[in-house]
Amino acid sequence: MKTGELKNYFCEPKLIKIIEMKIAVVGATGLVGGQMLKVLEERDFPITELFLVASERSVGKKMTYRGKEYTIIGLQTAVDAKADIAIFSAGGSTSEEWAPKFAAAGTTVIDNSSAWRMDPTKKLVVPEVNAIELTKEDKIIANPNCSTIQLIMALAPLHNRYGMKRVIISTYQSITGTGVAAVQQMEDERNGVDGEKVYPYQIDKNCLAQCDVFTENGYTKEEMKLTNETKKILGDDTIAVAATAVRVPVVGGHSESVNVEFKEDFDIDEVRQILSDFPGVIVEDDIDNLVYPMPINSHNRDEVFVGRLRRDFTNPNTLNMWVVADNLRKGAATNAVQIAEYLNANDLA
């Protein structure tokens, strides 16, 4: 597939099914794993055999996919099954140990953890932006961080047109990014239940200016992911990127306030058109009618929503925008399945 065909490819509501495949979902019992199965079903991915994989404590339990009951298997059994593609969402340590074993058995791994994202030998892929870089030799492919994916979807088409110099991001990230236990903590707090604590402070009716652990430079790992992954995906280390990541008591989507300085001046109407034309982006930008993206409206959606487009009147060539997406869908499961679809359609797995 040529670069010029990439846009039309992802504008199609469903990709052409070329090859029926054996698929493994590693971490199938988790929050993201469940979403991966849901997305595979919704997008009618061509599966001949499905292997649902989880930790030893879940082996032997039953799960249902498309009305059929499956028995959960362990990692070594899944390696031996030699699936065409294994979609991982089982944590970094599991990916570091097992992704190479799957790859050595001939399985292409799409990994949702942070284990391989900054490995210079691995591709970090948002399909609409850089799937064209994938080859048959890429046996471990990294799925970017959820907050990075939606950011890149908004920035990439604008960077291609105007060139970016500097990006400042403040995130408002759903508790679902931490997992099902975080959702339970918020529900417990709302119901007056003294349950397990995932966060060091109350999350209900609160905002925590900490996503992930702090690093030596005072930024959290989540904030540094936005910096490092953005540069890698866009292939440009000259872009200055800094972030503040905040956890908020929201279920259903991450929001980002983005301030981006371009090398060239821009026209707001052209910016709106560029974003509207980019596959997977929906512009909601009508302040006269109070229309702007909200996480409640992005829930269970695969698109990235962009609005509040306006010039930064304090700095030349600088744009402010508001970017929202469901972090479990496009921010994780859907992006991974789209990678699998691209591999399928181009016979790369």
**Whose CA is closest to 318, among 160, 166, 169, 171?**
166
In the set 146, 159, 211, 299, the catalytic residue is 146
Q: Is 312 exposed, middle or buried (0-12, 13-18, 19+ CB in 10 A)?
A: middle
* Contact of 240 with 165, CB cutoff 8 Å: yes
Which residues, other chains included, contact 79 with Cβ-Cβ below 8 Å and sequence gap of 6+? 98, 101, 102, 105, 107
CA distance 189 to 187: 5
Confirm whether 159 is a catalytic residue: no
Partners of 231 in the β-ladder: none
Which tokens is 149 given?
């994916």
- CA dihedral angle for residue 263, residue 264, residue 270, residue 274, rounded to 10 degrees: -40
List of residues 6+ apart from 343 with CB closer than 8 A: 85, 108, 134, 349
Closest CA relative to residue 334, chosen from 134, 135, 125 = 125
Burial 188-222 (b: 16+ CB within 10 A, else e): ebeeeeeeeebbeeebeeeebebbbeeeeeebbeb
How many residues are listed for the chain in this entry?
A: 349
Residues annotated catalytic, as ranges: 146, 254
